Each structure stands twice: as C-alpha cells, then as structure tokens.
Amino acid sequence: MLNQRHEAARAVAAQLLPAEQDVDAAIVRNAKLAIAVVEGRRACKLPLTTGQEGLSLVVDATARLVEARALLAQAHCAFRSAQSEVGLSAFSYGDVSECPPSTGEAAPSHLSVVA
C-alpha cells in the first residue's frame, strides 16, 4: 500500500513541477512579446495606437497566466497537505525549494489593466 502511495505521489510530482515551470516560461514569453510590440512600434515610428488592441490582449493573457500560476501554487500546497494525510510527509518528490505555507498566501491576485 505504501509503495502505491509513493508511485501516485511521484506521478503527480512528475506532472506538477513541469506544469509550474511551463506557466513561468509562458509568462516570460508573453512579457517578451509585449516588449517586442512596444519596441517594434517605436522603431517604426508608428502612432501610439498601432497594435494597441493586440498589446492589450497579450497583457490580459499574461495576467491570466499569472492567475494560473497562483492556482498551481495553491494546488501544490493542497497536494502537500494530501501527502501528509496519506503518511508520506517524510518524503520529498522533487521540490527544489520549500513549499509555501498553505494559508492562502498564494491566492490569485485580481489584476486590472489601467488604460
């Protein structure tokens, strides 16, 4: 029974940690995209409104990725709690740093775009 729990925990960790890394990478890519839009418009000496709709959509997508990141952090905390519940708290499954406390501190922020 303990071996089955270990295998289940390993399988979750094998998917969770890459998912966290992927969302961080997506945030970085979107930030670079937003920079490219602004710098491209400036380099071409185009009006400020050129590309504004697309830039707004990229920024909105980035904000949603940040919310997804917070939700993954909450999920990570929930899985850490479940790990304790099933008697596996003495084991580590790939965390590279201390997990944040599961007190809701990782709750998603409600971002808004100021126009």
Instruction: Give 62's pLDDT tier (boundaries 50, 70, 90).
Output: very high
Lowest-confidence segment of 17-21, 37-41, 43-47, 95-99 by average pLDDT = 95-99
Q: Between the CA atoms of 21, 78, 110 and 26, what dihedral angle is there, to the nearest 10 degrees?
A: 10
Q: Are 88 and 10 in contact (CB under 8 A)?
A: no
Domain boundaries, the chain: 2-85
Per-residue model confidence as pLDDT tens digits over 11-37: 888 899 999 999 999 999 999 999 999
Dihedral (CA of 57, 108, 106, 71) sign? negative
**Does position 68 have pLDDT exceeding 60, yes or no?**
yes
What is the rounded distance in angstroms from the CA atom of residue 73 to the CA atom of residue 56?
26
Residue 65: count of CB within 10 angstroms of its CB: 20
Length of the chain: 115
**Phi, psi (deg, nearest 5) at residue 60:** -65, -45
| SS3 at position 74 | helix
What is the rounded distance in angstroms from the CA atom of residue 42 to the CA atom of residue 61?
22
Provide the token pair at 81: 């709690």
